[in-house]
Every structure is written in structure tokens, then in C-alpha cells.
């Protein structure tokens, strides 16, 4: 005989689903601040008064978030954020790759079948993405939900939005407009057309990028001129004047590009009634100007300090408007980054008095590779290149000469390790075979390697060594922690304020948001829901 439940238990059981549904947000805002290092939230904390202050003081801050893979680039980073998968599954292993079959370079979101909308945009889509994303999981569970992604970079918007976003928009620096492709729509919506017709750049960008505060406010951030910074109109110091003919492009290396994207996102929020209907909606925003500024001036520049403070103010205004439109307590925000960045080598050497180097490949590395190739040609008795472009090897000529693939790779490795700045070489066989003896960074590079699009070998340069054709600026792409440690914050409905010190990864974000929304992740996803947030 079945026992009858007490009436109180019956009431609790019937109420629980309602309570769970009530705590779910009506709008998820997924923000990627391109190149936002993990230390920015702490370093600039006392200078925040807007959105970043709210997020860090009221939200859950994960202080040890890492990509956990290499290479640390924009395409792979945004795909990992949205899909919960490492590049080894997403297929987006770099911003570009070489297709040995067609002998052509492939851009990570290129799609020649994606036509322009009107006379702008086109040529790109998520066609190269091999897995689904958070927005796709949401659309499958709730077809009426809206998924919109925006950025100044096409690859950032497209890869965050996933396979079935309603819209993805990105910035065209020639026209100053936000554009899309026919993969998403055959005609731009009225609100997007109105935004473009408003000539945002003309009405919102001043004659020069000046500091938000008086110059003495920035003294604690170091000098305004650092060796290695990019020249802007003959100087590396503020102010940075905008040229009337180049302003559409120049705003990308200033805070104004992010302001434009946030204003465009605000238009989408209002016009598409995101979070204001019965379904849950997803708004993905990738803010790219931190990346452009970091590349030009480095993460320790006054320009980066000003960017962080202006971004804090812009995000504060945007979040306040979102709360006003959607309703306080109806929003969840996840903020992270696609990758971080290496400090300017000159800053590390001259200010921090540490080890760092700037290595010019055209003089320090490429001649050595060419010499090694000539040596191998002679050893194998062939007139063909053995080390081909884009890190592919001509295994066929080695076999013809009676040299097997393992011996060829040994010779290539031995030769490459003699070159300035090269710390290790990893071959396709090692990246695919988990039984290969482990060595530093091998597992990280495996998680970032997609064999069907991968090179025959990957090179790891020495730590704190910037291999760049340019004599100024800095970059990212390595598996070192200065490139892989990023910011991560969750804020909003049902999330309490706390600081979390355990190691987490950016692939954990999409599964966490999925759990908050009650969505089922595909079983192949690499990330795991973060219990501190998705209880």
C-alpha cells in the first residue's frame, strides 16, 4: 500500500517548479571583452564606478579562469566561450588556417555563399563551426527565443551567436555601419537601418581621444610614453587625434568602437523586445577595442587604463538601461574574454627589469628555416621543398629517399630547435596520439588542435618572447598564462556575490548558462557547469 504524502509535502512539490521557473532570467547578456586579462579587474578596481564595479562587487568573480588550450586567438576564443568546446572539437583552431587540398588560406568564418545584405557585409557565416552553441541549445528548446550577437569583429559576433542566431552584426570600418550577411537575413531590420542612417561615428566621436580624467590621475599607471608603443599621429602620448578621413577605422583603437557596439546592442534590446516576452532571450556582445588598444599600446599603458575606465562607464550605462527595459532581477550577465595578451617586451625589460625579447621573424627565424630546408633537400636528394609553407612537411619526398616520417620529424625538430626563440616543436602525430609521452604544453596544444585543419607541426616560442614582424605593439597566441588567464564574472538573477579561487576554464561558461536556463547541453561539450553559479 502506497503511503499518502502529507498535504504540506504535496504543496512543496507543486510549488518548486514554479519557484525554479521564477528564478530563471528573462534575458542572458553574454559579454566577451576581447583580450581582457585576468588582472584587469583587480588592477583597476579602485578606478571603477560603473558597470565593472557593479559586476565585481555584486557578482561571482572567478579569479583563476584560463583558456586551458592554445592557441590563444580571437576565433578559437569566441567559439570556446559560446560552445563549451575546445578547438579540437569546434574546428575553429585559429583565426585562419591553410587548406592543403585547395592550397588556399581559410578565414575562420569565411563563406562565399553568404551574400551581402543590401550593398554591405556578406562573405561570412558560422559554416566552419563544427558544433552547436548556447544560442542553438536555447533555440532548440524554445524556438520563439531570440538570439542576437554583435561586435566590431565579424568572427566574434558570428562565433558567439552560433549556428542559428536570429542576427549577427559586425562593424564595417569603410562605411561606419553595422552589417550582416544573408546567412541571417535578406534585409536588415528597420532598427538596424535607422541606427546606420544616424551616422553614429559622426555624431558621437570627438576630434581626439583624450583621457577621461585629468592627466595627473594616471600617474600611478606609469609614463604616458613607453618604448614599444604604437605611434599615433607622430606620438605615443595622449591626446590621440582622429583624422576625418580615417576616423571610421581609428575608433577601433579607442574606446569609441565599444561605445558604438553597446549603443547598437541597446537598439536591438529595445526593438526586438529582448527579455520582454514570455521566452528567454540571449544577447551576445563582444567588445573588441580592448584588443586593438592592447595590441597597439600594451596592457600596462595609460591607454589601457583609460579604456578600462571608459568601458566601466559604458557598461554601467548599458546595464542600467537593460534593467530599466527588462526589469531589475530579470537579467543574468556573464562576462569573460577570448584570450589575454603579453606585455610589451620593452615594458617587461625596462620597467619591470625582467626577461623578455622582441624577435623579428624576417631576420631571426625565417632565414634559418630556409637554410634548414636547403639542407634537408640536399640530404634527401630532391629539388622540392621539404619544409613547405604554413608548417607542412613534404613526407612524400622523404619516403622516396628511404627516410620514414619519424626520422624526418626528428631532423626537422633538431634543426628548428637550433633557431633563435624556438622552445619546442610538436608534430601532428604527437598531437593526435595520446600515448605520446607528455611534455610541457602538449596537452594544451592537443585541446587546441583540429587535425582536419591542422598544420603538420606547431612551434612553441620561448616564454616572454614576442615573435612579430612589427617593432612596436604586442600580441597573443601562445599557451603561456599571460595569454590564457582571463577575467570571468557572473552577475544577476540568483547569483550571489563571492570570490572563487579555484581553477576554471572558459569552456565552462556556456554549460553554466545552460544549467541556469534549464537547457540540456550536448554530451560532447568539454566544459562543466560552475556550481557556485548554477546551483
Whether the predicted pLDDT of 94 surpasses 60: yes
Whether the predicted pLDDT of 101 surpasses 90: no
**Residues tagged active-site:** 74
Whether the predicted pLDDT of 423 surpasses 80: yes
Three-state SS annotation for 259-299 = HHHHHHHHHHHHHCCCCCCCCCEEEEEEECHHHHHHHHHCC
Q: What would the grid cell of residue 466 be? A: 614576442
Name which of 253, 209, 213, 248 is nearest 229 in CA terms: 253
The number of angstroms, rounded, from the C-alpha of 95 to the middle of its chain's C-alpha atoms is 10
159-172 mean pLDDT: 98
Long-range contacts of range 388-396, CB-CB < 8 Å, 24 or more positions apart? 389/98, 390/98, 390/105, 390/455, 391/455, 391/456, 391/457, 391/458, 391/459, 392/98, 392/100, 392/455, 392/456, 393/456, 393/457
516-535 mean pLDDT: 96
Encode burial over 144-158: b for 16+ CB neighbours within 10 A, e otherwise.
Answer: ebbbbbbbbbbbbbb
Q: Could you tell me the pLDDT band of residue 359, with boundaries at 50, 70 and 90?
A: very high
CA 503, 509, 511, 517 torsion-angle sign: positive
Interatomic CA distance for residues 54 and 46, integer angstroms: 12
Average pLDDT taken over every residue of the chain: 95
Q: Could you tell me the pLDDT band of residue 100, with boundaries at 50, 70 and 90?
A: confident
pLDDT of residue 24: 85
Domains with residue ranges and CATH for the chain: 26-340+483-516 (3.40.720.10), 366-419+422-461 (3.30.1360.150)
pLDDT of residue 17: 36
Q: Could you tell me the pLDDT band of residue 229, with boundaries at 50, 70 and 90?
A: very high
Which backbone phi and psi does 33 adopt, to 5 degrees?
-100, 100
**How far, CA to CA in Å, does 91 sit from each of 35, 314, 479, 501?**
21, 34, 18, 30
77-96 mean pLDDT: 98
Whether the predicted pLDDT of 19 surpasses 70: no
pLDDT of residue 16: 35
pLDDT of residue 1: 37
The HSE-up count of residue 479 (CA atoms within 13 Å, CB side) is 19
Helices (H), 59-162: 74-83, 87-90, 134-141, 154-161
Is the pLDDT higher at 8 or at 82? 82
Q: Could you tell me the pLDDT band of residue 21, with boundaries at 50, 70 and 90?
A: very low
pLDDT of residue 46: 96
Tens digits of per-residue pLDDT, 273-324?
999 999 999 999 999 999 999 999 999 999 999 999 999 999 999 999 999 9
Whether the predicted pLDDT of 9 surpasses 80: no
Number of alpha helices (DSSP H) and beta strands (DSSP E) in the chain: 22, 20
pLDDT of residue 5: 38
Q: Could you tell me the pLDDT band of residue 103, with boundaries at 50, 70 and 90?
A: confident
Q: What would the grid cell of residue 228 be? A: 614599444
219-230 mean pLDDT: 94
pLDDT of residue 97: 97
3-state helix, strand, coil in the chain (%, to 5): 40, 20, 40
Report the run of H or E that residue 151 belongs to, with start and end: strand 147-151
Question: Based on the number of CB atoms within 10 Å of its own CB, is 20 exposed (0-12), middle (13-18) or buried (19 or more)?
Answer: exposed
Q: Percent of the chain at pLDDT above 70? A: 96
482-510 mean pLDDT: 97
Whether the predicted pLDDT of 11 surpasses 60: no
Tens digits of per-residue pLDDT, 62-77?
999 999 999 999 999 9
Whether the predicted pLDDT of 258 surpasses 90: yes
Interatomic CA distance for residues 434 and 529, integer angstroms: 26
Amino acid at each position: 500500500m502506497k503511503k499518502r504524502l502529507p498535504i504540506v509535502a504535496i504543496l512543496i512539490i507543486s510549488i518548486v517548479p514554479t519557484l525554479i521557473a521564477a528564478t530563471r532570467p528573462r534575458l542572458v547578456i553574454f559579454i566577451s571583452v576581447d583580450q581582457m586579462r585576468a588582472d584587469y579587474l583587480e588592477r583597476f578596481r579602485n578606478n571603477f564606478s560603473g558597470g565593472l564595479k557593479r559586476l565585481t562587487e555584486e557578482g561571482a568573480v572567478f579569479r583563476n579562469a584560463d583558456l586551458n588550450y592554445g592557441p590563444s586567438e580571437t576565433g578559437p576564443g569566441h567559439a570556446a566561450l559560446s560552445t563549451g568546446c575546445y578547438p579540437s572539437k569546434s574546428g575553429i583552431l585559429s583565426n585562419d588556417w591553410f587548406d592543403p587540398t585547395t592550397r588556399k588560406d581559410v578565414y575562420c568564418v569565411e563563406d562565399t555563399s553568404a551574400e551581402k545584405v543590401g550593398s554591405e557585409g556578406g562573405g561570412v557565416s558560422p559554416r566552419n563551426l563544427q558544433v552547436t552553441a548556447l544560442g542553438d541549445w536555447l533555440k532548440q528548446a524554445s524556438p520563439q527565443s531570440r538570439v542576437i550577437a554583435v561586435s566590431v569583429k565579424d568572427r566574434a559576433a558570428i562565433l558567439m551567436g552560433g549556428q542559428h542566431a536570429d542576427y549577427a552584426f559586425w562593424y564595417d570600418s569603410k562605411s561606419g555601419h553595422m552589417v550582416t550577411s544573408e546567412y541571417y537575413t535578406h534585409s536588415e531590420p528597420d532598427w538596424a537601418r535607422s541606427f546606420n542612417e544616424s551616422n553614429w561615428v559622426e555624431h558621437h566621436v570627438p576630434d581626439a581621444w583624450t583621457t577621461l580624467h585629468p592627466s595627473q590621475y594616471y600617474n600611478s599607471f606609469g609614463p604616458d610614453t613607453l618604448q614599444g608603443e604604437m605611434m599615433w599621429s607622430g606620438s605615443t602620448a595622449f591626446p590621440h587625434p582622429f583624422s576625418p578621413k580615417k576616423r571610421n577605422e581609428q575608433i577601433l583603437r579607442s574606446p569609441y568602437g565599444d561605445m558604438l557596439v553597446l549603443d547598437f546592442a541597446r537598439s536591438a534590446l529595445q526593438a526586438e523586445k529582448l527579455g520582454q516576452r514570455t521566452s528567454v532571450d540571449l544577447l551576445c556582445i563582444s567588445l573588441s577595442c580592448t584588443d586593438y588598444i592592447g595590441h597597439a599600446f600594451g596592457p600596462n599603458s595609460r591607454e589601457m587604463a583609460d579604456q578600462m575606465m571608459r568601458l566601466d562607464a559604458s557598461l554601467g550605462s548599458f546595464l542600467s538601461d537593460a534593467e530599466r527595459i527588462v526589469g531589475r532581477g530579470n537579467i543574468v550577465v556573464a562576462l569573460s574574454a577570448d584570450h589575454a595578451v603579453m606585455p610589451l617586451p620593452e615594458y617587461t625589460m625596462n620597467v619591470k627589469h625582467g626577461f623578455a625579447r622582441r624577435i623579428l621573424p624576417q631576420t631571426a627565424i625565417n632565414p634559418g628555416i630556409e637554410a634548414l630546408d636547403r639542407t634537408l633537400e640536399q640530404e634527401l636528394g630532391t629539388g622540392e621543398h621539404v619544409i613547405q609553407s604554413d608548417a607542412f612537411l613534404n613526407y612524400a619526398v622523404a619516403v622516396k629517399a628511404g627516410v620514414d616520417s619519424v626520422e624526418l620529424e626528428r631532423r626537422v625538430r633538431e634543426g628548428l630547435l637550433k633557431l633563435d626563440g624556438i622552445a619546442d616543436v610538436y608534430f601532428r602525430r604527437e598531437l593526435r596520439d595520446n600515448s605520446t609521452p607528455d611534455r610541457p604544453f602538449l596537452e594544451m596544444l592537443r585541446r587546441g588542435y583540429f587535425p582536419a585543419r591542422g598544420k603538420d607541426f606547431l612551434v612553441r616560442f620561448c616564454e616572454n618572447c614576442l615573435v612579430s614582424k612589427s617593432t612596436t605593439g604586442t600580441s597573443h597566441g601562445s599557451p603561456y598564462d599571460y595569454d590564457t588567464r582571463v577575467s570571468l564574472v557572473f552577475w544577476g538573477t540568483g547569483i550571489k556575490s563571492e570570490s572563487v579561487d579555484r581553477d576554471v576554464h572558459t569552456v565552462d561558461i556556456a554549460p553554466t548558462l545552460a544549467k541556469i536556463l534549464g537547457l540540456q547541453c550536448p554530451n560532447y561539450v568539454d566544459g562543466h557547469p560552475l556550481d557556485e553559479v548554477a546551483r
